[in-house]
């Protein structure tokens, strides 16, 4: 278990003693590892082509350098808690299929559905 020590101590499994945990499960040599890697390698290009994609801090700095912001502007960052685990599977799959459906990659659509269903 990976302890979630960033959570408020009073909300821990045993308050102020034991933090909640996230199970760590190895995917090495699993049935879905190669399919997942294949899907990821093909979906990355769609993510990288999206206008909101930010590769890293340096990429972010370069993008905001080009902005003309008012003097009273305040830049903030956000941390989305458990973003991927909170995405509804059906809606997430629909969003991916909608994006890749614009391209001739039908086989990828099938593999994503298989991986989602069999995982």
- Burial tier of 111 (Cβ tally within 10 Å: 0-12, 13-18, 19+): middle
Report whether 63 contacts 54 (CB < 8 A).
yes
**Residue boundaries of the structural domains of the chain:** 1-26, 31-118
Query: What are the tens digits of pLDDT across the range 18-41?
Result: 888 877 778 788 877 888 888 788
Question: For residue range 68-95, what is the model confidence (pLDDT) as tens digits?
Answer: 889 998 888 776 666 677 788 889 888 8
**How does 54-71 read in b/e, with b if 16+ C-beta sit within 10 Å?**
eeeeeeeeeeeeeeeeee
């Amino acid at each position: 278990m990976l302890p979630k020590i960033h959570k408020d101590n009073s909300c821990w499994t045993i308050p102020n003693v034991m933090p909640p945990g996230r199970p760590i499960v190895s995917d090495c040599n699993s049935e879905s590892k190669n399919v997942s890697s294949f899907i990821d390698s093909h979906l990355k290009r769609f993510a990288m082509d999206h206008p909101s994609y930010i590769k890293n801090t340096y990429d972010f700095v370069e993008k905001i350098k080009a902005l003309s912001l008012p003097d009273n502007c305040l830049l903030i960052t956000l941390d989305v808690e458990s973003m991927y685990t909170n995405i509804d599977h059906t809606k997430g799959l629909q969003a991916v299929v909608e994006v890749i459906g614009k391209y001739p990659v039908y086989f990828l659509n099938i593999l994503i559905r298989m991986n989602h269903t069999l995982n």
